[in-house]
Structure 1
Amino acid sequence: MLNVSNVSRVFGKKAAVDRISFTVDKPGFVGIIGRSGAGKSTFLRMMNRLTDATSGQIFVDGTDILALKGAAKRAWQGQCAMIFQQFNLVPRMDVASNVMHGVLNRRSTLATMFNLWSEADITRALSILDRLGIAEQAPKRAEALSGGQQQRVAIARALMQDPKIILADEPIASLDPMNAQIVMDALHRIHTEDGRMVIANLHTLDTARRYCDRVIGMRDGRIVFDGTPDLLTTSAARDIYGADASFSEAATSTSIDTLPRDQNYATTLLGA
Structure 2
Amino acid sequence: MLEVKNVTRMFGQKAAVDNISFAIDGPAFVGIIGRSGAGKSTFLRMMNRLTDASSGSILVEGRDVLALKGAEARAWQSQCAMIFQQFNLVPRMDVASNVLHGILNRRSTLQTMFNLWSEADILKALEILGRLGIAEQAPKRAEALSGGQQQRVAIARALMQDPKIILADEPIASLDPMNAQVVMDTLKRINVEDGRMVIANLHTLDTARRYCDRVIGMRDGRIVFDGTPDQLSTGVARDIYGADESFNESATSTAIPADRRPDEAYAGAMLA
With the shorter chain as reference, the TM-score category is over 0.9
CA offsets 1:149-170 (integer angstroms, 9 cap, x no match):
0000000000000000000000
Partner of 1:76: 76
| 1:35 Cα deviation after fit | 0.3
Partner of 1:263: 264
Asked whether the 8 Å contact 1:234–1:245 carries over to 2, the reply is no
* Matched ranges for 1:22-171 at <5 A: 22-171=22-171
* Residue 246 to residue 231, structure 1, CA distance change in 2 (3 Å): farther
SS of alignment partner, residue 123 of structure 1? helix
| 1:268 Cα deviation after fit | 1.8
Partner of 1:226: 226
Q: Alignment identity in percent?
A: 82
CA offsets 1:49-103 (integer angstroms, 9 cap, x no match):
0000000000000000000001100000000000000000000000000000000
Query: Which structure 2 segments of 5+ residues have no match?
Result: none
1: CA distance, partners of 2:155 / 2:212:
18
2: CA distance, partners of 1:17 / 1:248:
26
Q: TM-score normalized by structure 1? A: 0.98
The answer to whether the aligner puts 1:244 opposite 2:214 as a matched pair is: no
SS of alignment partner, residue 149 of structure 1? helix
CA offsets 1:135-157 (integer angstroms, 9 cap, x no match):
00000000000000000000000
SS of alignment partner, residue 173 of structure 1? coil
| 1:247 Cα deviation after fit | 2.0
SS of alignment partner, residue 256 of structure 2? helix
Asked whether the 8 Å contact 2:181–2:266 carries over to 1, the reply is no
Asked whether the 8 Å contact 1:177–1:256 carries over to 2, the reply is yes
2: CA distance, partners of 1:169 / 1:209:
17
Letter in 2 for 1:265: Y
| 1:265 Cα deviation after fit | 3.2
Please identify, of 248-257 and 64-73, the stretch whose mean Cα deviation from structure 2 is larger.
248-257
Partner of 1:204: 204
* Residue 178 to residue 213, structure 1, CA distance change in 2 (3 Å): same
SS of alignment partner, residue 262 of structure 1? helix
| 1:245 Cα deviation after fit | 6.2
CA offsets 1:105-125 (integer angstroms, 9 cap, x no match):
000110001111100010000
2: CA distance, partners of 1:5 / 1:185:
31
| 1:231 Cα deviation after fit | 0.3
CA RMSD of aligned residues (A): 1.1
Runs of 4+ with >3 A deviation: 264-267
2: CA distance, partners of 1:4 / 1:27:
15
2: CA distance, partners of 1:267 / 1:173:
21
Count of residue pairs the alignment pairs up: 271
Please identify, of 243-252 and 77-86, the stretch whose mean Cα deviation from structure 2 is larger.
243-252
Asked whether the 8 Å contact 1:133–1:266 carries over to 2, the reply is no
Letter in 2 for 1:260: R
| 1:270 Cα deviation after fit | 4.8
2: CA distance, partners of 1:161 / 1:256:
30
Please identify, of 245-254 and 31-40, the stretch whose mean Cα deviation from structure 2 is larger.
245-254
* Residue 121 to residue 21, structure 1, CA distance change in 2 (3 Å): same
Query: Which structure 1 segments of 5+ residues have no match?
Result: none
SS of alignment partner, residue 263 of structure 1? helix
